């Protein structure tokens, strides 16, 4: 039986794989698992405010309306009071879960996925993403009761109460602006909100911080989220930055846990480059704990070389911001992220926060008086080629002797200025072949040869 939880919550096509019934049942199960400390509260105690509390938010997708209703119904039926914060970014729900002392948080979003999709993300106390063990417990409990076993349900004064928490928007924006090291006065910034959850939040935060703000992708209608805009479609942002003579542009994804940028000339600035700029700023301020930054195995080799040159250690993890976060917590580090633009500043957020990332990047431009292009010049992105080889036995990547030998030979050929990574897909029967080299044609040639070996050895 396939696991419901993926790398970032439960996702599917809304009203097909992801139904109201599933959303309601998962929410009841999550309430039982994540509020165990208060599970025994009596009706009298519940009247005195001892009931568990959940923060529930969503992105603007049309399907989020009925899924939110199902989640709220499930939580309240399980005896949880619900603070409904409406359309806010995923990191806002995480922040409010922590700052309000809530027992759990729920975000309805499918991030950068197209509009027909949606998803459910749960946060534990403090606004932290769930460990695999908690997700497994929630899923097991959901399946147990979906099979026919009745829930124990509170009655009378024990049922949860629901109210809108409109203060969430201002509280979150105030937090973002309050943690900045300096204001953004004098900067012109274009923001692409992806017609998503940051459409109001990000422009407001940048404006309060002093920036002259130009917006695109900030008119969500429930159907246009991520539609040829946002962090996966940067052409509109490039054009707007150049046309308006802006200092930089910032692009979010649908739930705004990511940030990519473009410089004044419209050149893309990816997550590795953003991490490099913030790492140097934080080291200079004495805020980069253990002089270490955390990134995944997919980060560009140029990032690693730049960090070594600047005296900063690099800790690598598997692909996925949850693994970055786990390593940050385990090692006591303060900065980490992915090439895709998930950047975590652990002193100020418990998850990737696209608006915070954009603000901190702009703050560095304002503080130094240097252009974003100058700041990102600290690292040179080496050419990176990715080839997906399908219909192969991905379980044998590390054991097929012919493939192991081919990788070793490629690594010797590339030397210190190149890198090879073979990674089995977590969801598909394919192997990803990634090669970096100082020259793009060299990278393509090596990637092509390795892809042929993968087909031959694992096919």
* pTM exceeds 0.85 for this model: yes
Q: What is the CATH number of the domain that holds 198?
A: 3.40.120.10
**What pLDDT score was predicted for residue 164?**
98
CA distance 87 to 79: 24
**Count of structural domains, the chain:** 3
**What pLDDT score was predicted for residue 180?**
98
Claim to verify: residue 26 and residue 92 sit in the same structural domain: yes
Given the residues 27, 111, 231, 340, the one annotated as active site = 111
The CA-CA-CA angle for residues 314, 318, 320, to 5°, reads: 105
Contact 275, 321 (CB under 8 A): no
The CA-CA-CA angle for residues 308, 309, 313, to 5°, reads: 25
CA distance 125 to 446: 47
**What pLDDT score was predicted for residue 43?**
44
Q: Which two tokens stand for residue 323?
A: 């693994």
Position 372 in a domain: yes
- Whether residue 111 is annotated as binding a ligand: the answer is yes
The contacts of residue 199 (CB under 8 Å, 6+ apart) are 60, 87, 193, 217, 218, 219, 220
Position 2 in a domain: no
Position 127 in a domain: yes
- Count CB atoms within 10 A of the CB of residue 386: 14
Q: Which residues pair with 214 in a beta bridge?
A: 190
Residue finishing a domain among 166, 187, 203:
166
- Whether residue 253 is annotated as binding a ligand: the answer is yes
Claim to verify: residue 37 and residue 111 sit in the same structural domain: yes
What's phi and psi for 77, nearest 5 deg?
A: -65, -20
Q: What is the CATH number of the domain that holds 392?
A: 3.30.310.50
Position 1 in a domain: no
Claim to verify: residue 399 and residue 287 sit in the same structural domain: no
Position 4 in a domain: no
**What pLDDT score was predicted for residue 139?**
96
Claim to verify: residue 144 and residue 195 sit in the same structural domain: no
- The string of pLDDT tens digits covering residues 110-132 is 999 999 999 999 999 999 999 89
**What pLDDT score was predicted for residue 426?**
67
| Active-site residue, 231 included | no
**What pLDDT score was predicted for residue 424?**
86
- Whether residue 353 is annotated as binding a ligand: the answer is no
CA distance 190 to 245: 10
Q: Which residues pair with 54 in a beta bridge?
A: 82, 104
430 to 317, 323, 386, 393: CA distances (angstroms): 20, 21, 12, 8
Claim to verify: residue 229 and residue 327 sit in the same structural domain: yes
Q: Please give the average pLDDT of every successive group of 10 residues along the chain, which has 459 residues.
A: 85 96 97 75 50 98 98 98 98 98 97 95 95 94 87 94 98 98 98 98 98 98 97 97 98 97 97 98 98 94 95 93 92 96 96 97 98 97 92 86 91 89 79 92 94 90
**What pLDDT score was predicted for residue 49?**
57
Contact 95, 232 (CB under 8 A): no
- Whether residue 212 is annotated as binding a ligand: the answer is no
- The string of pLDDT tens digits covering residues 3-59 is 899 878 999 999 999 999 999 999 999 999 999 755 444 444 444 458 999 999 999
**What pLDDT score was predicted for residue 59?**
98
Judging by DSSP bridges, how do beta strands 268-269 and 260-263 pair with one another? Answer: antiparallel
Residue finishing a domain among 148, 166, 184:
166
Supply the range of the domain harboring residue 407. Answer: 384-458
């Amino acid at each position: 039986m396939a696991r419901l939880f993926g790398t970032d919550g439960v996702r599917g096509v809304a009203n097909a794989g992801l139904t109201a019934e599933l959303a309601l049942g998962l929410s009841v199960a999550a309430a039982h698992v994540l509020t165990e400390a208060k599970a025994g509260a009596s009706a009298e105690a519940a009247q005195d405010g001892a009931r568990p509390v959940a923060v529930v938010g969503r992105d603007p997708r049309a399907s989020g309306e009925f899924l939110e209703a199902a989640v709220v119904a499930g939580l309240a039926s399980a005896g949880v009071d619900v603070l409904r914060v409406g359309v806010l970014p995923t990191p806002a729900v995480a922040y409010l879960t922590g700052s309000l002392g809530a027992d759990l948080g729920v975000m309805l979003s499918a991030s950068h996925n197209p509009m027909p999709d949606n998803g459910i993300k749960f946060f534990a106390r403090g606004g932290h993403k769930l460990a695999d063990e908690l997700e497994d417990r929630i899923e097991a409990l959901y399946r147990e009761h979906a099979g026919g076993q009745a829930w124990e349900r509170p009655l009378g004064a024990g049922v949860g109460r629901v109210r809108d928490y409109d203060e969430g928007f201002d509280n979150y924006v105030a937090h973002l602006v309050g943690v900045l090291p300096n204001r953004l006065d004098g900067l012109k910034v274009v923001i692409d909100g992806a017609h998503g959850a940051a459409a109001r939040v990000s422009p407001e935060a940048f404006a309060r911080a002093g920036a002259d703000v130009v917006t695109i992708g900030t008119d969500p209608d429930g159907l246009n989220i991520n539609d040829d805009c946002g962090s996966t479609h940067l052409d509109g942002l490039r054009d707007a930055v150049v046309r308006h003579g802006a200092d930089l542009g910032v692009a979010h994804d649908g739930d705004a846990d990511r940030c990519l940028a473009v410089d004044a000339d419209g050149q893309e600035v990816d997550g590795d480059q953003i991490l490099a700029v913030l790492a140097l700023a934080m080291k200079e301020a004495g805020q980069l704990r253990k002089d270490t930054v955390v990134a995944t195995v997919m980060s560009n080799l140029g990032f690693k070389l730049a960090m070594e040159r600047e005296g900063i250690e690099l800790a690598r993890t598997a692909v996925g911001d949850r693994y970055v976060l786990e390593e940050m917590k385990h090692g006591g580090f303060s900065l980490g992220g992915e090439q895709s633009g998930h950047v975590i500043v652990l002193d100020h957020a418990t998850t990737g926060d696209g608006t915070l990332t954009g603000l901190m990047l702009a703050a560095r431009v304002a503080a130094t008086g240097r252009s974003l292009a100058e700041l990102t010049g600290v690292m040179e992105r080496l050419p990176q080629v990715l080839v997906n080889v399908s219909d192969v036995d991905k379980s044998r990547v590390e054991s097929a002797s012919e493939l192991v030998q081919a990788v070793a030979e490629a690594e010797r050929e590339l030397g210190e200025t190149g890198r090879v990574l073979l990674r089995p897909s977590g969801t598909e029967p394919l192997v990803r072949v990634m090669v970096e080299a100082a020259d793009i044609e060299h990278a393509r040639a090596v990637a092509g040869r390795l892809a042929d070996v993968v087909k031959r050895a694992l096919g």
